Structure formats: structure tokens, C-alpha cells
Amino acid sequence: MKVTFKEIKYAIAVSKHLNFRRASEECNVSISSLSSAIKKLEYKINFEIFERNNKKVIVTSMGREFLSEAEEIVIRIRELENLADSKSDSLSKNISLGIIPTVGPYLLPIVLPGLKKKYPYTRLKIVEAQSHSLVKKINDGDIDIGIIALPYSLEKMVTQVFWKEDFYWISHKDNNNFKESVKSDEIDRDGLMLLEDGHCLKDQVADLCNLTKSSSLNMSASSLNTLVELVAGKMGSTLVPELSLKQLVHKNKRLQKAHLDEPGPHRELAFAFRKGFKGQKDVELLKKLFYKELSNHFKRKPSLTDASINIAG
């Protein structure tokens, strides 16, 4: 008996969740159907992929080898399914795009209307997650492309930069020491608030401002929106990227912004994907469209001369 693609996908889902109920929900089948398919698969290959009891699911050593090969098969099949689209002058019909929380809410409203107008038949699946999670999803083949803010360590992955921006120091309007531009050493460290651990933006700001783990930071938050509301409530100050200014700062009369006068660009937005990814044509088309929409939004003269390609690792 031959192993089926459906059985492989079921096994991968179980390995991801280590829980048959959650795996069945992802695969949109009953728990009994999923369990039966896994047992049938293990019978075909003549070894157990999982050890399971009433409390937990464990991947066996042979199971880890099988799943490693199975994930490669799934990636290759998805690439074959998109092969016809890769030869056309339009975007593929289905694209899964991962994006980090400090970019998604501010970038998507700018670029999606243009994307819908130019490529009305493309179905875009958006997945929001922090950088480390997106990298894993890209490598596992769960998503096609990720949008990452650089600098960020990316091993064995290709990146294409499509936008560059600086940071701005946000303080309450009652701050009498306000200037149009500030150096990092002019910012009050005791009143500075950053995102919580896990957000690459926190690390980028810390590196740029020479902050260490021992630095006295006033508070941390899970989102830029929360940080800015804390500033509006006179709890301290923070740093945000240019992309978020319109939504977070310009409409709030209690806030004022100052450009961070440090060598820039302070961060770069880039598409990230696996080496050998067959949808590089999609990346090129998205890069051009995103850059055009962002240039129009920020009233910059469109030019792709500063876009770059990098292969890490």
C-alpha cells in the first residue's frame, strides 16, 4: 500500500500540535478519522511515528526522520502546484504572506488597495506572528513569504528589501525639552518605554540607542498602540518607526514626534523566503507594487535602486 499525501499532511499537523484534537481541527476532520489515518500510515511504513497515551503525544526517533522528509515533500508539492502561476506575468492565485505585528497594521492599509486593484484574482492569506515564529513557518513551508524588519538574524534565507525607514521619538506635548531632532543620548532612559521581549523592534531600538539589558526602562508593552497610549497618558516616552506615525501619532494632539538623529536607515522592511523558493516571481511583483504604493503614500520619488537581495547563511 502506498503512503498518501493526505496521510503525510495529517502526520505533520499532529507533530506541530502534539495534540490530536488540535491537529484534527487544523485538518478539518474528526479526531477518529485523523487517528485512523495515522495508524494506517504507521502500518504502511512499519514503524510508529508517535507514542501516545491519554496525557501526551511524543514523536519517536524514527518519526522525526520521517517527518523531516515529509515536510520537504509537502513543500515540493506546493511548489509544483504553483509552477504554472510562476510562468505568468501575474501574481500566483494563492499566496500566504507572514507579517510581523509592528509592520502589518501600518503597511497593509497602504498596499492592499493597490494590490487588489492590480491583481484582483490573487487570494492573499495573511498570517501575523513575531519574527522568530515567521522564520519557522517559512522554513517549514507553512507560509510562502514573510515580511521581516531588518536587521534581524536570518540563517539560510533569502531577503529582498522593499522599504527603508527611520525611527521617531514620541513624547507628550507637555515635554518642554522637545526638539525636531534628537540624538539617542538625549533621550531620558528612565522614562523610555519599549515593546516586550520577542519583538525585533525592541532589539533594533536597543542596539541603535546603545541600551543594554541592565538599562533602566520604565515599562514594556505588547503593541505599539499600547506604548503610544501610555505616552499620551504621561507615563513616559517611546520610539516608533515612520510607517506607524500616521495611525499612532498624527491624529493624537497630546503627542509630539522628533526624528532620531542617528545614522539610518534605522530599519529595512524585506521579503524573506527559502532558498530555492519557486515563487520568486511573486516576490519581485510584490516588491515593485509595495514600493510604488509606499512611495506615493510618503510622497517620495519611486526608485528601486536602493532595493537589495541578500542570501543569509
CA max distance for the chain: 77
pTM: 0.71
Comparing CA positions, the residue from 300, 289, 293, 310 lying closest to residue 95 is 289
Q: From CA 152, how far away is CA 150, in angstroms rounded?
A: 5
For residues 264-275, average pLDDT: 91
Going along the chain, which residue ranges are E strands? 50-52, 57-59, 94-99, 123-128, 145-150, 157-165, 167-172, 181-182, 192-195, 219-221, 237-241, 255-260, 267-274, 309-311
Q: Is the distance from CB of 219 to CB of 236 less than 8 angstroms?
A: yes
Residue 149 has pLDDT above 80, yes or no: yes
Q: Pull the grid cell for residue 134.
A: 515567521
Q: What CATH code would you report for 83-164+266-311?
A: 3.40.190.10
CATH architecture, domain 5-81? Orthogonal Bundle (1.10)
Comparing CA positions, the residue from 261, 282, 258 lying closest to residue 271 is 282
Boundaries of every domain in the chain? 5-81, 83-164+266-311, 167-260
Q: If pLDDT is split at 50, 70 and 90, which confidence band does 174 have? A: confident
On the question of a common fold for 83-164+266-311 and 167-260, the answer reads yes
Question: Beta strands 157-165 and 57-59: pairing type?
Answer: unpaired
CATH architecture, domain 167-260? 3-Layer(aba) Sandwich (3.40)
Residue 108 has pLDDT above 70, yes or no: yes
- Give the pLDDT confidence score for residue 305 in this predicted structure: 46
Give the lowest-confidence range in 29-43, 75-89, 176-190, 246-260: 75-89
For residues 240-263, average pLDDT: 91
Q: Is the peptide bond before 113 cis (omega within 30 degrees of 0)?
A: no
Q: Is the distance from CB of 7 to CB of 73 less than 8 angstroms?
A: no
For residues 69-96, average pLDDT: 75
Q: If pLDDT is split at 50, 70 and 90, which confidence band does 279 have? A: confident
Q: Is the distance from CB of 231 to CB of 237 less than 8 angstroms?
A: yes
- Give the pLDDT confidence score for residue 86 in this predicted structure: 56
